[in-house]
A and B are shown apart, each in its own frame.
Chain A
Amino acid sequence: ETGVTQTPRHLVMGMTNKKSLKCEQHLGHNAMYWYKQSAKKPLELMFVYNFKEQTENNSVPSRFSPECPNSSHLFLHLHTLQPEDSALYLCASSQDPQGVGANVLTFGAGSRLTVL
């Protein structure tokens, strides 16, 4: 399998649940990203990992907890979410670390999260 793969594609959870989103890239890229996509709003950058190290946390609430065990895998752990957290969560990767070169992103198909 090639590209950036995200699972699950759809997730429905209650406000007290704990769940995780998974992202895997098979491109040998060095940086991985989590974005939040809400209707009629620009994509919001949440977290950036360069060479497995978190280099950016864009003022994201602590109920979102990222994990990057290696440069190919990225997780977003979810706990005690709110209904306004319902959105499409996109994972992306890039060959160059953030801010280096053209930094072209390759995206996954996203995980559609609904919080009840």
Chain B
Amino acid sequence: AQTVTQSQPEMSVQEAETVTLSCTYDTSESDYYLFWYKQPPSRQMILVIRQEAYKQQNATENRFSVNFQKAAKSFSLKISDSQLGDAAMYFCAYRGRSNFGNEKLTFGTGTRLTIIP
């Protein structure tokens, strides 16, 4: 079974600085999706960024970018120019990509990010 590990339960960063959240996963599949979701205090989880394993180029969405290391099974999220609104729980998630159409989304335990004004 696939597992997703987020080894940093909590992180903090000074406003306007850069922070990197780590995520590793375990899989025997060669093709899959990886996601970062954000859950602010409002509790509504929002997709931040996604990466398809067959694409070598790292995904980027404005201030959010990933460092996808397929061989190392690592998928870290970098937040540049941190803003107060970035304070949230961040969840890394994995989903296999097969022909069977029943792949589940597996989440990590999350990293709580605090932004220091």
- Chain A interface residues toward B at CB < 8 A: 40-43, 45, 55-56, 88, 90, 92, 97-100, 102-110, 112
Contact = CB atoms under 8 A, between A and B. Distances in A.
Contacts, number: 55
Contacts of B43: 88, 109-110, 112
Interface of B: 4, 9, 33, 35, 37, 42-47, 50, 52, 91, 95, 98, 100-109
Contact of A45 (B37, B91, B101, B105): B105
A107 B44 contact: yes
B47 A105 contact: yes
Given A102-B50, A103-B95, A42 B107 contact: yes
A18 B95 CA distance: 34
A64 B108 CA distance: 24
Nearest to A107: B45
